[in-house]
Structure 1
Amino acid sequence: MAKIILLTGASGLVGSNIRDHKFSSNYKILSPSSSDLNLLNYQNTEDYIAFNKPEIVIHAAGIVGGIQANKNYPVKFLVGNMQIGLNILMASKKKMVKNFINLGSSCMYPKNSKNPIPEDVLLKGEFEPTNEGYSLANITSTRLCEYINREDSSFSYKTVIPCNIYGKYDNFSYDSSHMIPGVIRRIYDAKNNNSKHVDIWGDGLSRREFMYAEDLADFIYYAIENFNKMPQNINVGLGHDYSIMDYYKIIANVIGFKGKFNHDMSKPTGVKQKLIDIKKLNKLGWSYKTSLELGIKKTYDYFLSEVKK
């Protein structure tokens, strides 16, 4: 009989790619909507788990957004995400769900971490101020997984820390998108409006690591099948990064935008580099499959067919 997996955040970027992955047919995946499972309500969360009896929980739910959204709504990002994390973890523990994959974020790492960033520097320094609330909530869930395992070794609650993610089912809005979908939207509009230039926040020299969401979904299924071998906390990324300018140029090339880029130095750019260390990932035996160019092309095709249709 197929294992029963509870997938939270199934309608989000990561959750949707996990749900749609070719390996999803090997399992019985529960992907409740927020009306079926209100993660902000502990009792509702516990009751759902008690009734459905999942063998594994993959926790991909959360309140997410780009730099501007994190700056504008720190209370929502801290309180909402912390409540969600505590509720799903404690309800799972109480109902004796033994295996739990917690999706963290590389924003949990200290802002002055030396690159590439290893897993053992968690809580060794201050967070980047622009997303501190979100980071605090994520680190709380990550530590709670460790504490649950420490108190009772029959539980195996582990955290996956991906680099930045983009792809199908992304948010392309002007107000709350992450960088790649936001740039796709702006360059697409610039081309269609015959604009001569597109603004870039800052000097474009900051470096970021972005992985195609389908690859992260592929890792999640690899992790399920290799759960005992997986370390407590594991980075999942490419092992290399690109400058912000590189991303703009590749996106412009895919879309066919021929204009110029202007640098808006009044806008925040975040840390200069955030590249995660993937030594543990390499040892586990998994690596990404989708190149940046192909991933952006697939994401742009999704944008054209599903967002701008």
Structure 2
Amino acid sequence: MKGKYSVKTLLITGISGFLGSHLALRLQSKYCILGLKRLGSNLWRFDGENNNIQFINDLELLKKYKIDYIIHTATNYGRNGESISQILEANIIFALQILEFAQKQGIKTFINCDTLQNPLASPYCLSKSHLSEYFKYFKTIKIINAKIEHMYGPKDDENKFICYLINNLMKDKNIELTKGEQMRDFVYIDDVISAFESIIYYVDSLDSMDTFEIGSGKQIKLRDFCEKILIMYNEIMKKPSNANLLFGLKEYNEFENMNIKADIRALKNMGWIPKTSIDDGIKQTILYYINNVNRGGVAQKYKIAFANISFFYLWIFTQDYQNSPTFSQDSYLRIYPQIATKILFRISPQISTKFDKQNLAYLQKVA
């Protein structure tokens, strides 16, 4: 099979996320990267990285670009208490808006990120399954579906399973788990990115609705995987964590898929193979989190706040503005509306939720 790089401009949705940021940083040497993000997205994953990526938070602003490919990584897993309607809004409605935009702009290729999980396992999985049913209505766009098994690696979200394990080991906190009999396919982020590189490289020879499963192609019992993380963590730290893996204390999901393995034959036919062993992947991930505690959490928020000490009081103010006896929210923010808005939304999207809709509308209006 032959292929060549023909893409000039690549749009990545969800660019501030785990997958989107890794894709952007790897692919920027080959393409002009446009990154679509939410207004309040935290771009901490790009800190310290050389990049010439253009970050954009409005679809309308993308009309001036000639976009060749879209990689749609934006998603809502529902891990932060989001409602089902919010998950559907993010995973179906927003995706359809991107597809409609692509159709109007004459963009020819849309690479969607999907999951191998049982659609009934969660609202997230079900929304991903339903989205694919709408693809047939976009006949002018070549849609490639990439079903990704459990990817992991540095800079992942703290509420993801592997990060959750490592963080609790670091805090010496016991970890309650199921019996761990599930067979899973864990794939390191570098291998996921190289799989996308192969898909893009050969996309001209692919058919619309082609589906690729991205994983290591190997299975490991979840219990063995967790124990491997514990053993390797203790070896790296030179002392054992006081945390215990408490298997059997949690029930399986009603629709738990007990046996998942990516079928990577289609990718192998394009010359792709996963190169990172599970031991190397776990080691690199543990080392990252040991050296970057709370990189995207509290430490990162304070780093940004301290960058401009004159606005440090704004940081304090936003934490509990309703109970403050000395600050007037409206008058204070009117003093420096533009910089206040930028700091609020850059420090953390979560801070913005402390303000009601009226205050949010005001902040966005004056920005």
Q: TM-score of the superposition, structure 1-length normalised?
A: 0.77
Asked if 1:215 corresponds to 2:195, the answer is no
How many residues matched? 265
Asked if 1:83 corresponds to 2:61, the answer is no
| 2:202 pairs with one of 226, 250, 274 | 226
Backbone CA RMSD of aligned residues: 2.4
Identity level (%):
23
1:236 is matched by which residue type in structure 2?
I
Q: For residues 275 and 178 of structure 1, what CA distance do their matches in structure 2 show? A: 19
Q: For residues 144 and 61 of structure 2, what CA distance do their matches in structure 1 show? A: 21
Q: For residues 181 and 130 of structure 2, what CA distance do their matches in structure 1 show? A: 32
The answer to whether the 8 Å contact 2:195/2:267 transfers is no
The answer to which of 262-271 and 155-164 deviates more is 262-271
Q: For residues 219 and 279 of structure 1, what CA distance do their matches in structure 2 show? A: 12
1:187 is matched by which residue type in structure 2?
L
The answer to which of 92-101 and 231-240 deviates more is 231-240
Name the residue aligned to 1:27: 31
Name the residue aligned to 1:201: 177
After superposition, give the CA deviation of every residue in 1:102-152 in whole Å (9 maximum; x if it has no partner). 111112xxx4xxxxxxxxxxxxxxx33x41x2123222332333442xx34
Q: For residues 97 and 81 of structure 1, what CA distance do their matches in structure 2 show? A: 20
Name the residue aligned to 1:141: 131
Q: After TM superposition, list the pairs within 5 Å mapping 1:1-309 onto structure 2.
A: 3-21=8-26, 23-35=27-39, 37-38=56-57, 44-45=58-59, 47-65=60-78, 73-107=83-117, 111=118, 127-128=119-120, 130-131=121-122, 133-148=123-138, 151-152=139-140, 155-172=141-158, 177-190=159-172, 198-230=174-206, 232-256=210-234, 257=240, 260-269=244-253, 270-308=256-294
* Aligned-pair CA distance for 1:96: 0.5
Structure number with larger C-alpha Rg: 2
Q: Unaligned 5+ residue runs, structure 1?
A: 39-43, 112-126
Q: For residues 37 and 245 of structure 2, what CA distance do their matches in structure 1 show? A: 41
1:261 is matched by which residue type in structure 2?
L
Name the residue aligned to 2:318: none
Change (3 A) 1:65 1:218: farther
The answer to whether the 8 Å contact 1:79/1:137 transfers is no
Extract structure 1 runs of 4+ deviating beyond 6 A.
none
Q: For residues 138 and 37 of structure 1, what CA distance do their matches in structure 2 show? A: 24
Q: Unaligned 5+ residue runs, structure 2?
A: 1-5, 40-54, 235-239, 296-367
The answer to whether the 8 Å contact 2:70/2:109 transfers is yes
The answer to whether the 8 Å contact 1:9/1:15 transfers is yes
Name the residue aligned to 1:119: none
Higher relative contact order (CA 8 A, sep 6+): 1
